[in-house]
Structure 1
Amino acid sequence: MASLKFPADLDREVRDQRRARLAPGYAVGVTEEMIHAQVHSFYARVREDAELGAIFNRRIADWDAHLAKLCDFWSSVLLMTGRFHGAPMRAHLQVAEINAPLFERWLGLWADTAQKVCPPEAALLFTARARTIASSLQLGIAASRGEAV
């Protein structure tokens, strides 16, 4: 005998099916565990990096909370979970040291970590989305500083 499903369960099931069709990460096998591995491995490297570590370590007091927020961010980006509630542009605007070479350094470490942590298609997706986000942040930062874009 089939179990009865209540409207809330059906709504959740429909949302989950829609998310699986639309979210880019599902198609290439991205999981919450993979996101966790990527974010934690990457930021372990950032913290040890001479240039990036100096900036991040000065600003991040609670790394556990920061990593949890970043996992929520990437889950929202790649799996469309909607867990992230933050303002990345505002956070990045507060960092005076941010510049194009640092973004490139960040992206290089991110891509290298993704290649080590993720299957190839997932690594490409992580990297492509990071590049898009970095570009958007760089444009917003430049505009806020009155720099040519």
Structure 2
Amino acid sequence: MLDLNLCTDEEIARLVSAFYARVRRDDKLGPIFEAHVDDWDSHLSKLTDFWSSILRGTRRYGGTPMTRHAALPDLDETLFARWLELFDLTAGEQQNQAMAARARVMARRIAQSLWLGYQMQRHPDRLARELPCA
């Protein structure tokens, strides 16, 4: 059950902004995101809506992240693990640690789901492997 008092949209926006600033500076993830995100302001707004839907139940996000991620070439489990590592680091820096704890759990579920879906789209003839870090 969602706790609508868990966090504010401002706290979510700070988490998303800090996290993706870190992602953009990352040697592994930065080039991937920079190659596929044309408008960072719009992307961050969409991601804030995504996390607000997850953490606050706002239902503001209506996209299909699986489709977008499945279209990306050459992703592997090390990239998903790095994404989680940076997310954990950024969440740990947030003032609202109740929000951070919930966001960490959800980030692991999201990463696992996207990784499994990615493999099934790319290699339907192979058995998908779970992320060892999720």
Regions of 4+ moved over 4 Å:
none
TM-score norm. by structure 1 comes to 0.80
> Aligned with 2:22: secondary structure?
helix
Counterpart for residue 89 of structure 1: 66
Which letter maps to 2:2?
A: A
Task: Report deviation, 1:31.
Answer: 1.2
Superposition RMSD in Å: 1.2
Matched, 1:128 2:105: yes
Task: Report deviation, 1:69.
Answer: 0.3
Counterpart for residue 2 of structure 2: 23
Counterparts in 2 of 1:72 and 1:112: CA distance versus 1, 3 Å:
same
- The alignment-based identity, stated in percent, is 41
Name the count of aligned residue pairs: 126
Counterpart for residue 12 of structure 1: none
Counterpart for residue 38 of structure 2: 61
Counterpart for residue 111 of structure 1: 88
Gaps of 5+ in 1: 1-21
- Select which of 123, 127, 133 maps to 1:148: 127
CA distance in 2, matches of 1:50, 1:42: 14
- Select which of 17, 20, 32 maps to 1:43: 20
Which letter maps to 2:127?
A: A
1:38–1:118 contact (8 Å) kept in structure 2: no
> Aligned with 2:62: secondary structure?
coil
CA distance in 2, matches of 1:71, 1:102: 21
Give the helix-richer structure, 1 or 2: 1
Give 1 or 2 for the bigger CA radius of gyration. 1
